Amino acid sequence: MLDVEKIREDFPILKRKINGKRLIYLDNAATTQKPRQVVAAIVKFYFNYNANVHRGFHTLSQEASQAYEEAHEVLAKFINAYSWEEIIDVSNTTDGLNLIAWGWGLNNLQPNDEIVVTVMDHHSNMLPWRAVAEKTNAKVKYVDITEEGTLNYDELERIISEKTKVIAFPMASNVVGTINDVRRIARLAHSVGAIAVGDGAQYVPHVPTNVRELELDFIAFSGHKMLGPTGIGVLWGRKDILESMKPFRVGGDTIKEVTLDSVVWHDLPWRFVAGTPNIAGMIGLAEAAKYLMRLGMENVREHDVILVNETLKRFKELGDEVVVLGPKDPRMRTGLVAFNVKDLHHHTVGKALDLLGIAVRTGGHCAHPLHYRLGFNGSIRASYYIYNTLEEVETFVETLKLIISLKERLAKEPVEEVCPGT
C-alpha cells in the first residue's frame, strides 16, 4: 500500500489554495503533478552539465550523453523491454503514434488493406491511421463497444481478416476507463499477420507494464501522465520491426554517414530521433520512472482501485442525478470516473467544482466518437493518482451534492466553451 501522506510531501503544488479552498487535483488523466525529485533532476542537468548530446568530446557533452542514454535504460527497465535500443524518445503519445502510422504504415500499407481501430479511441490514435489510409488507399474499420463500455471482442473477431494489417487500440480508455485485454487483441492481430499497436497513454502510468508478456508490436506513452515533464514520451517497438523501418523525420543524429548520393541510417534508437532531443525531458522522465518503481506499480494500481471503488460507491448516494460512463467494476478501470449530472452542462459542473477548489476535466476528452456513441457531447472526468486520498473523494462527492442542490440556479448560467475540440 502507498503511504499517501508521505508521497504528498513531494508535491508542493498540493498545498495551494484555489478560491480559498485547498486544492483537490483530480485531473491526472490529462497530466499529473511533478514531484520534487523530477524537478531536481531537470534542474541538476541545466545547472551542472547542460550540453548537447552525441555531438562533442568535451566533458559536459559526455556527461549529458551518458545521462541521456542511461535514461533509456531506466525506461526499458520500467516496461521490461528487451533492450534500451527499443526505447525511442518522442514528444508524447500522439507523436509516437504518428511515428508508427507514418513511419511504418506509409511504407507497408497497400490499397484495400484494412486498419482496425475502435470507437473508444483517443483522436491521437484514430486520426493518424485515417490520414495514412487516405494516402495509401487503405480502409479503416471500427470496433464498437458494449453498453457497459467494454470493447466488443466478438465484433473484433468478425471484423479482422487476411486484409487486416494493423489493429491499433487504447490499452485503457481515457473516458470510460476500461482496461482492455491487450494480449488477447495482440494475438488476434498476429493470427491474421497484422501488427498490434497499443496506445498506452492511460495504461502505462497506472498498470504494471511488461512488454514481453503483452505481445504487442508497438506501445506509445507520455511522460507527463506519469509524473514526468511535458514534451517527452516513449515509443517502444519490437526491435526487428524498428530495424526494418526507415525514419520519416530525418536530419542530425539520424545518420551515420551522408554523401551527395547516399545515406547510411544510424543504429537504434537514434535513427528515429531527428535533431537535438529533449535531453532534460528524458532525464526527468527517467527520474519519474524511478519514483514509480520505488513505490511499486502494483501498489499504484491497487491505489487506483481503492479510490475508484469508493467513488462509485459514494455516487450511489446521488441516485439518478448522476450518470456514470463505463464499467461498474473498479478492477476493470484505471483510476478515473467520467460522468454527467442530469440537466447540467458538463462545463457548468466543472466550473462549479473549480470555484470550490476541485480540478476536474470537462469536455469531449479528445474522444468525440466515443461520447457520441454513449449519447453525450462531453462529460466530467475525475481522475486519480498516487497522491489522491479517500478524504478527497469524500469532499468531491459532498461538493457534487451541493452543486446538484443548486442545479436549478446553475442551469441558467451561460456555458463557455473554453477548449473547443478537446
Provide the grid cell at 209.
Answer: 507494464
Predicted structure pTM score: 0.97
Quote the cell numbers at residue 263: 545515406
Given the C-alpha cell 498516487, which residue does it identify? 386
**Listed residue (357, 365, 363) closest to 396, CA to CA:** 357
What are the pLDDT digits (tens) for 116-164? Answer: 999 999 999 999 999 999 999 999 999 999 999 999 999 999 999 999 9
Residue with cell 436549478: 408
Size of the chain, expressed as the number of residues it contains? 422
Report the CATH architecture of 4-30+296-410.
Answer: Alpha-Beta Complex (3.90)
Query: Could you tell me the sign of the dihedral formed by the alpha carbons of 385, 388, 390, 393, in that order?
Result: negative
Task: Please confirm, yes or no, whether 366 is among the known catalytic residues.
Answer: yes
CATH code matching the domain that covers 38-294, chosen among 3.40.50.11610, 3.40.47.10, 3.40.50.300, 3.40.640.10: 3.40.640.10
Per the CB < 8 A criterion, the answer to whether 149 and 141 are in contact is no
Q: Where are the domains of the chain?
A: 4-30+296-410, 38-294
- pLDDT tens by residue, 314-367: 999 999 999 999 999 999 999 999 999 999 999 999 999 999 999 999 999 999
Query: What backbone torsions phi and psi does residue 73 show, to the nearest 5 degrees?
Result: -65, -40
Q: How buried is 363 (Cβ within 10 angstroms: 0-12 exposed, 13-18 middle, 19+ buried)?
A: buried
Asked if 308 and 337 touch (Cβ cutoff 8 Å), the reply is: yes
Q: Among residues 132, 268, 366, 380, which one is catalytic?
A: 366
Please tell me the distance from the alpha carbon of residue 185 to that of residue 166, in angstroms, as a whole number: 11
Of 9, 3, 19, nearest to 356 by C-alpha is 19
SS (H, E, C) the chain: CCCHHHHHCCCHHHHCEECCEECEECECCCCCCCCHHHHHHHHHHHHHCCCCCCCCCCHHHHHHHHHHHHHHHHHHHHCCCCCHHHEEEECCHHHHHHHHHHHHHHHHCCCCCEEEEECCCCHHHHHHHHHHHHHHCCEEEEECECCCCCECHHHHHHHCCCCEEEEEEECECCCCCEECCHHHHHHHHHHCCCEEEEECCCCCCCCCCCHHHHCCCEEEEECCCCCCCCCCEEEEECHHHHHHCCCCCCCCCCEEEECCCCEEECCCCHHHCCCCCCHHHHHHHHHHHHHHHHHCHHHHHHHHHHHHHHHHHHHHHHHHHEEEECCCCHHHECCEEEEEECCCCHHHHHHHHHHCCEECEEECCCCHHHHHHHCCCCEEEEECCCCCCHHHHHHHHHHHHHHHHCHHHHCCCCCCCCCCCC
Per-residue pLDDT of the chain (422 residues; tens, 9 = 90+): 899 999 999 999 999 999 999 999 999 999 999 999 999 999 999 999 999 999 889 999 999 999 999 999 999 999 999 999 999 999 999 999 999 999 999 999 999 999 999 999 999 999 999 999 999 999 999 999 999 999 999 999 999 999 999 999 999 999 999 999 999 999 999 999 999 999 999 999 999 999 999 999 999 999 999 999 999 999 999 999 999 998 989 998 899 999 999 999 999 999 999 999 999 999 999 999 999 999 999 999 999 999 999 999 999 999 999 999 999 999 999 999 999 999 999 999 999 999 999 999 999 999 999 999 999 999 999 999 999 999 999 999 999 999 999 998 988 887 776 666 67
What is d(CA 228, CA 303) in angstroms, rounded to the nearest whole number?
Answer: 19
